[in-house]
C-alpha cells in the first residue's frame, strides 16, 4: 500500500453509483464539479439487480392518492405521510423525465405496460425487458451523467471514512484500488448513495458489495440513523444448494403465480385476505410457518399453470437463470425461501436529503426518509432513489457556499493495511451472517437479541480499525450495522411490519408508533411521527 499521494478537491462528492447517486449527480452537474466514487464498476449496484420494476401512478386506471394510500398501508403505521406524499406526487414527473431521456419501459403496443405486485391496489409497476428494470434505468442515467463535462465518475474506489471537522463534513477518504493507494477528496457537500447492507445476513438477494459502508461511515462520523430494526425479507429467493439466492421477483405472483408448501398445497389464503399478493412481511412469515409445519426448509413458487410463452417473455432473466440450474419454470415448480432484501431504515434525513451533519446528504437505501415505514411497498425503492436522489442534489446545490477550510489541506489519511488474515476475515464474516440470520431475522425475541449482541461483540473484538484493507473495512462496517440493528430491535418491544418479536407479538401504537433514532451504539430514542423528520432538529442544522 502506497502512502497518500494527493488530496483531490471537488465541489460535490457522491458515494455510490445506483439510481440515487446518478440522479443526484445529474442534478448537481449544473451547480459545479461533481466527483462520484463507486466501489465496483460504474454500473454495478443494487439498482442493477432490481428486477420487479418501479411503481408510479401513470395509468388511466390509477391515481396518485391510491398509490399514497397503498404505501401508508404497507408501512404498517410508520410511514411519514409528508415523505410519502412527495414520493408519489413527484414520482410522476421524474418517471416522465426518465422516459424522455430514453428509458425503454415495456409497452403493449404504444401504451406503457403496468404490472401488479403485492399490496398494490392497482397495476402501476413499470418494468423493462421483462425483469431487468434496474439495469435499463442505470443505462440511461449513466449515459446522461457521462454526457456532462462537470461529472467525473471514478470506479473501484472504496470509501473509508468521512472527513469531519467541528461536526461539519468536508469529504471522505477512500481506497483507490486501481492505483493501490489511499486518497482523500475534499468537497463542499458530500452525498451518501451507497446502498444497503444485505450482506449482514447469510441469506440475501443483495450482491456482495452491499456491506453497509455508507451507514457505518455516517455512524462513525456522528450522524443520526433511524428505523434500523426494519429489514425487509423478500419472500421468494431461489433456494438450491450451491446457487446464489437469486431474487424471484414479486411480479411473478402479480402475474398469477402461486405459493405452495412442500405438500404442494396453496397456503397464503389462510394467512391474509390478499392471498399470494399479501404484504411482504406477511408472506415471509407465512412461508416460515409452513416450512415449520411441514418440516421442510423451502416452499414452492408455482408458475406451471401460466402460459409458457408469457412466462418466457415476461421473466426472461428468471427463466434463463433457473434453467441454468436445470429448472424449467414453465413445467417445474421453483424451490424458494425468504431472504434479506432491503433496509427500510438508514441515515436519518429530512425531505431534501439533509442529515444531522452539515454538508452531509443521503439518498436511496442508505437513507431513511420515512417513506417505507415498517414495511416497504413493492417497487417503491427505485422510485425513492429517483425522487430523493434529485431532491438531495437540489438541496446540496442550494446549500453549498464558502470555500474549503485551509486546515484540511495539510492533513493526511494515515491508514495502514492491518489485515488479520483473509481466512480469519472470511470465517468471522460467515459467523456474523449466520448469527444475524438465526437470531435477528424474520422471527425475533428479546432473549435471542441479547445473545446475538453478546456474540457479535465477541466476534468483532479483534476488528476495530482503522484499516486500508477493503475486506477488513467491509467486515468492520457489517459489525457496526449489525450492532445498530440489534440494539434498535431490542428497543422496539412490539411487532410491526418486518420487525416481529415473538415475546411482543402485537403492535403498540400508544407507545411505539414512532421512528427509532439511534445516535450512539447503545442509545435509542423514539420520535413522534408528527414531528419533522429533518436534520433541522439537530444542532448541526440550527
The answer to whether 526 touches 517, Cβ cutoff 8 Å, is yes
Q: Report CA 152 to chain centroid distance, whole Å.
A: 24
Judged on CB neighbours under 10 Å (0-12, 13-18, 19+), 458 is exposed
What does the DSSP 8-state code read for residue 266?
A: B
Read off the pLDDT of each residue in 68-74 and give the average, rounded to a whole number.
Answer: 96
What does the DSSP 8-state code read for residue 462?
A: T
The answer to whether 389 touches 91, Cβ cutoff 8 Å, is no
Task: Look at the alpha carbons of 67, 73, 74, 79 in this order and tell me if their dihedral is positive or negative.
Answer: positive
pTM of the predicted model as reported, rounded to 2 decimal places: 0.92
Rounded to whole angstroms, what are the CA distances from 534 to 106, 309, 348, 539? 37, 49, 8, 11
For 121-132, the pLDDT digits (tens) are: 999 999 998 778
Backbone angles phi, psi at 114, to 5 degrees: -115, 135
Question: What's the whole-number average pLDDT of the chain?
Answer: 91
Residue 537 pLDDT > 50, yes or no?
no
Q: How far apart are CA 194 and CA 197, in angstroms?
A: 9
Q: How far apart are CA 175 and CA 39, in angstroms?
A: 9
Task: Choose between 155 and 535: higher pLDDT.
Answer: 155
Q: Report CA 532 to chain centroid distance, whole Å.
A: 23
Q: How far apart are CA 444 and CA 502, in angstroms?
A: 6
Which cell numbers hold the place of 399? 446549500
Closest CA to 388 of 53, 22, 34: 22
Q: Give 533's pLDDT tier (boundaries 50, 70, 90).
A: very low
For 6-41, the pLDDT digits (tens) are: 799 999 999 999 999 999 999 999 999 999 999 987
Q: Give 421's pLDDT tier (boundaries 50, 70, 90).
A: confident
Domain residue spans in the chain? 7-230+344-408, 236-340
Q: 280 catalytic, yes or no?
A: yes
Helix (H, G, I), strand (E, B) or coil at 48: helix
Could you report how far apart the first and last alpha carbons of the chain are, in Å?
Answer: 41
pLDDT in the model for residue 54: 95
Q: In what order do the strands lie in the sheet with 125-126?
A: 54-55, 125-126, 114-115
Judged on CB neighbours under 10 Å (0-12, 13-18, 19+), 73 is middle
How much is the CA Rg of the chain, to the nearest whole Å? 22
Task: Choose between 231 and 407: higher pLDDT.
Answer: 231
Residue 535 pLDDT > 50, yes or no?
no
Read off the pLDDT of each residue in 508-522 and give the average, rounded to a whole number.
Answer: 91
For 80-99, the pLDDT digits (tens) are: 999 999 999 999 999 999 99
Please state, for a pLDDT cut of 90, what percent of the chain lies above it.
Answer: 78
Please state, for a pLDDT cut of 70, what percent of the chain lies above it.
Answer: 92
Q: Give me the residues paired with residue 111 across strands.
A: 108
Residue 23, phi-psi category: left (phi > 0), alpha (psi -120 to 50), beta (remainder): alpha
Residue 406 pLDDT > 90, yes or no?
no
pLDDT in the model for residue 242: 82
For 157-186, the pLDDT digits (tens) are: 999 999 999 899 999 999 999 888 899 999
pLDDT-wise least confident of 243-257, 262-276, 284-298, 398-412: 398-412
Residue 461 pLDDT > 80, yes or no?
yes
Residue range 236-340 forms a domain whose CATH class is: alpha beta
Residue 275 pLDDT > 70, yes or no?
yes
Query: What CATH number should be reported for the domain whose range is 7-230+344-408?
Result: 3.50.50.60
pLDDT in the model for residue 428: 94
Q: Give me the residues paired with residue 515 across strands.
A: 527
Read off the pLDDT of each residue in 259-286 and give the average, rounded to a whole number.
Answer: 94
Q: Give me the residues paired with residue 336 across strands.
A: 238, 299
- What is the DSSP pairing of strand 346-348 with strand 367-368? parallel
pLDDT in the model for residue 280: 86
- Asked whether the bond before 60 is cis by omega within 30 degrees of 0, the reply is no
Residues 6+ apart with CB under 8 A from 167: 222, 357, 358, 539, 540
Helix axes 81-100, 381-399, angle to 10 degrees: 90
Q: How far apart are CA 93 and CA 27, in angstroms?
A: 15
What does the DSSP 8-state code read for residue 155?
A: -
| From 280, 314, 391, 444, the catalytic residue | 280
Residue 418 pLDDT > 70, yes or no?
no
For 281-292, the pLDDT digits (tens) are: 899 999 999 999
Q: What angle do CA 455, 429, 219 make, to 5 degrees?
A: 75
What does the DSSP 8-state code read for residue 306?
A: S
Residue 467 pLDDT > 60, yes or no?
yes
For 312-364, the pLDDT digits (tens) are: 998 998 999 999 999 999 999 999 999 999 999 999 999 999 999 999 999 99
- What is the DSSP pairing of strand 125-126 with strand 34-37? unpaired
Task: Choose between 3 and 497: higher pLDDT.
Answer: 497
Q: What angle do CA 350, 168, 13 make, to 5 degrees?
A: 75
Amino acid at each position: 500500500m502506497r502512502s497518500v499521494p494527493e488530496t483531490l478537491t471537488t465541489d460535490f462528492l457522491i458515494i455510490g453509483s445506483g439510481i440515487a447517486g446518478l440522479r443526484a449527480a445529474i442534478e448537481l452537474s449544473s451547480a459545479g464539479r461533481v466527483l462520484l466514487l463507486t466501489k465496483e464498476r460504474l454500473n454495478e449496484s443494487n439498482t442493477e439487480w432490481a428486477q420487479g420494476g418501479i411503481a408510479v401512478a401513470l395509468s388511466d386506471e390509477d391515481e396518485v392518492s391510491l398509490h399514497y394510500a397503498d404505501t401508508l398501508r404497507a408501512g404498517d403505521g410508520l410511514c411519514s405521510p409528508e415523505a410519502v406524499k412527495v414520493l408519489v406526487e413527484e414520482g410522476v414527473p421524474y418517471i416522465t423525465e426518465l422516459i424522455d431521456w430514453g428509458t425503454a419501459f415495456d409497452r403493449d403496443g404504444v401504451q406503457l405496460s403496468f404490472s401488479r405486485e403485492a399490496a398494490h391496489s392497482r397495476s402501476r409497476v413499470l418494468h423493462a425487458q421483462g425483469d431487468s428494470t434496474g439495469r435499463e434505468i442505470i443505462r440511461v442515467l449513466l449515459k446522461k451523467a457521462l454526457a456532462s463535462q462537470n461529472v467525473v465518475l471514478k470506479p473501484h474506489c472504496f470509501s473509508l471514512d468521512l472527513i469531519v471537522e467541528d461536526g461539519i463534513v468536508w469529504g471522505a477518504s477512500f481506497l483507490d484500488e486501481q492505483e493501490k493507494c489511499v486518497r482523500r477528496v475534499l468537497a463542499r457537500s458530500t452525498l451518501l448513495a451507497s446502498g444497503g447492507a444485505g450482506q449482514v445476513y447469510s441469506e440475501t438477494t443483495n450482491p456482495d458489495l452491499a456491506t453497509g459502508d455508507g451507514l457505518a461511515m455516517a455512524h462513525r462520523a456522528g450522524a443520526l440513523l433511524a428505523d434500523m430494526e426494519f429489514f425487509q425479507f423478500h419472500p421468494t429467493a431461489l433456494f438450491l444448494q450451491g446457487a446464489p439466492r437469486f431474487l424471484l421477483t414479486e411480479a411473478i405472483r402479480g402475474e398469477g403465480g402461486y405459493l405452495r408448501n412442500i405438500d404442494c398445497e396453496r397456503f397464503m389464503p389462510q394467512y391474509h385476505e390478499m392471498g399470494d399478493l399479501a404484504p411482504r412481511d406477511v408472506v415471509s412469515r407465512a412461508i416460515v410457518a409452513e416450512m415449520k409445519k411441514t418440516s421442510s426448509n423451502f416452499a414452492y413458487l408455482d408458475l406451471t399453470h401460466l402460459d409458457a410463452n408469457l412466462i418466457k417473455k415476461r421473466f426472461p432473466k428468471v427463466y434463463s437463470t433457473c434453467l441454468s440450474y436445470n429448472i424449467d419454470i414453465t413445467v417445474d415448480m421453483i424451490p424458494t425461501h425468504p431472504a434479506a432484501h432491503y433496509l427500510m431504515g438508514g441515515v436519518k434525513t429530512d425531505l431534501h436529503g439533509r442529515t444531522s451533519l452539515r454538508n452531509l446528504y443521503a439518498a436511496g437505501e442508505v437513507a431513511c426518509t420515512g417513506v417505507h415505514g415498517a414495511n416497504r411497498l413493492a417497487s417503491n425503492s427505485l422510485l425513492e432513489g429517483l425522487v430523493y436522489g434529485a431532491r438531495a442534489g437540489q438541496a446540496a446545490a442550494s446549500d453549498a457556499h464558502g470555500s474549503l477550510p485551509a486546515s484540511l489541506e495539510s492533513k493526511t489519511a494515515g491508514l495502514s493495511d492491518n489485515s488479520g488474515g483473509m481466512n480469519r476475515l472470511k470465517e468471522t464474516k460467515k459467523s456474523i451472517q449466520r448469527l444475524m440470520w438465526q437470531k435477528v431475522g424474520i422471527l425475533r425475541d428479546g432473549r435471542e437479541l441479547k445473545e446475538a449482541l453478546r456474540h457479535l461483540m465477541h466476534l468483532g473484538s479483534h476488528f476495530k480499525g482503522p484499516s486500508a484493507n477493503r475486506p477488513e473495512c467491509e467486515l468492520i462496517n457489517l459489525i457496526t450495522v449489525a450492532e445498530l440493528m440489534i440494539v434498535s430491535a431490542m428497543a422496539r418491544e412490539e411487532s410491526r411490519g418486518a420487525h416481529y418479536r415473538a415475546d411482543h407479538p402485537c403492535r403498540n401504537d400508544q407507545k411505539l408508533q414512532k421512528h427509532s433514532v439511534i445516535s450512539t451504539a447503545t442509545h435509542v430514542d423514539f420520535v413522534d411521527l408528527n414531528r419533522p423528520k429533518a436534520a433541522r432538529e439537530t444542532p448541526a442544522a440550527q
